[in-house]
Structure 1
Amino acid sequence: MKQRQHFLGLEVDTGPYPSFIHEIGKLAKEKGSAYVCVANVHMLVEAYQEQEFAKVVNAADIVTPDGMPICLGLEHFYGIKQDRVAGMNLLPDLLANAATKKIPVYIYGGDPKLKPLFDTYAQTHLPGLDLRGFYCPPFRPLSEKEENQVVKQINDSGAQLILVSLGCPKQEKWMAAMKGRINGCMVGIGGAMPVMLGIKKRAPVWMQKASLEWLYRLLQEPARLHKRYLVTNTIFVYLYIKEFFNIRIKKK
């Protein structure tokens, strides 16, 4: 279904969008321990700045190309016309697939206030969804005892698809630490849940296609995001230009 392509420090899986839904569902059905990283520009830059985090992402069973800049870069540098596999699309589609294929789901992370809203959404849009748990951990680090209790709770629930909403890079590090301990396929969904539930609006399609979804989010939450995007986007542009010239030199 998919092949991995090295892109600016990340090993990104490529392939048509529906194949990612299929492969993640397959990992869940196999009842093994696996995790999926949904890679955007923020994650790529975090990996560039922290080598250990890069290892965490690249060790994932699947790394999806979330950000449009990543998809455009794959085409620009390697001629790969890649569908965007964004968390905002992936979340509702994975849930719909889980409802159809009878894959039990567990949601870990996010805001506890989302639970009743999710229940209402599921009743309308996801008939047949088997939700085995919805747990929002405290913001402080868990003790070893609490962590063991979480692992037992998730495993005892019988969930095969675990959707993790802790934010990057925390959720990716958590999933990597839980591989081999949690019996299911973990997927880092970041902040996709509030968008799916209609609490936050998503950028218009034209902004998504023009790689401007970050700008829309910035306009929604300028105080929280302005510093991150200023630094992140600057580093990404630097890495992109550097790779452009590296490839040109190699071709000579």
Structure 2
Amino acid sequence: MTVQATEPRVDVLGIHVSVTHMDHTVETFARWIDDGERHLVCVSDMNALLHARADGRLTEVYNTSGMTLPDGMPLVWAGRKAGFEQMARVCGPDLIERVMAEAEQRGWTHYFYGGADGVPEKLRDNFVAKHPDLKVVGAYSPPYRALTEAEDAEIVERLNAAEPDIIWVGLGAPKQERWMAEHRDRLDAAILIGVGAAFDFHTGRVDRAPQWMQRSGLEWSYRVYKEPRRLWRRYVLGIPRFAVGILRRPPRPVS
């Protein structure tokens, strides 16, 4: 049963970001699983939001998701500017760790879908080592190309046969959001959630910034430092675009 979410949201440049924090997000997941609801969840930082607002289909996916989580501090600051002081960052790598700990107690089952060859399997092994009672029912890295209809149907069958409560999708934004939207009605899992780089962070393929940089909204600068050739344009151009956009269109509650 797919249900339209009714959580409060804030309009940030046309993208409706959920007013939430870590505890509220995890309890929302618990309610969906207990009630048999089915949702997709977008985890959005500034860069993902700018991609989404430039694409009508992606805007629709973000704005009709079960939740669109504020991964980056700029989105949190925008929400607080609109009057939602309770809003806090829900970062993909932190969320997946928190949900794994919760799932060990609640018995939720998981499937890791995406990442480079061997990454979802390593992710599974790492989390099971940390949480021995965790139930991971599958891990699969799809080919890095467009799938045939037969291949896609086989993947849907494989995912449904495993009966996960949560499918963690690590295809990178915006590919993972498009994939989730295309497959939401065909998959039985309660939650599809795109967490992008979280797969690489939790398998040691990519280093995370120190905690003080994460809290102060400077994690982007650490990522640019580590991968300048790939990421400099994203942030050097993206930050001014975001800031100017906020000045022209201040964040406001979604009515």
TM-score by length of 1: 0.91
Please give the secondary structure, in 1, of the residue aligned with 2:59: helix
The residue that corresponds to 1:11 in the other structure is 16
Any idea what the Cα deviations from partners look like across 1:147-177, whole Å, max 9, x if unmatched? 1111110001111110000000000111111
The residue that corresponds to 1:250 in the other structure is none
Q: 1:186 aligns with which of 180, 186, 192?
A: 192
For structure 1, the residue ranges without an aligned partner over 5 or more in a row are 248-252
Any idea what the Cα deviations from partners look like across 1:50-84, whole Å, max 9, x if unmatched? 12111011111111111100101111233434111
Amino acid at match of 2:62: V
Deviation at 1:180, TM superposition (A): 1.2
**1:62-211 to 2 correspondences below 5 Å:** 62-184=67-189, 185-211=191-217
Please give the secondary structure, in 2, of the residue aligned with 1:105: strand
The residue that corresponds to 2:3 in the other structure is none
Tell whether the 8 Å contact from 2:115 to 2:141 is kept in structure 1 after alignment. yes
For residues 46 and 122 of structure 1, the distance between their equivalents in structure 2, rounded to whole angstroms, comes to: 31
Please tell me the root mean square deviation across aligned C-alpha atoms, in Å: 1.9
**1:25-64 to 2 correspondences below 5 Å:** 25-64=30-69
Tell whether the 8 Å contact from 1:107 to 1:133 is kept in structure 2 after alignment. yes
For residues 142 and 29 of structure 1, the distance between their equivalents in structure 2, rounded to whole angstroms, comes to: 33
Tell whether the 8 Å contact from 1:33 to 1:181 is kept in structure 2 after alignment. no
For residues 219 and 238 of structure 2, the distance between their equivalents in structure 1, rounded to whole angstroms, comes to: 14
For residues 174 and 21 of structure 2, the distance between their equivalents in structure 1, rounded to whole angstroms, comes to: 26
Q: For the structure 1 residues 183 and 39, does the alpha-carbon distance in structure 2 shift closer, same or farther, using more than 3 Å as the test?
A: same
Deviation at 1:17, TM superposition (A): 1.7
Tell whether the 8 Å contact from 2:120 to 2:141 is kept in structure 1 after alignment. no
Amino acid at match of 1:175: M
Please give the secondary structure, in 2, of the residue aligned with 1:38: strand
TM-score by length of 2: 0.90
Q: Provide the identity percentage.
A: 29
Q: 1:216 aligns with which of 222, 227, 234?
A: 222
Deviation at 1:97, TM superposition (A): 1.7
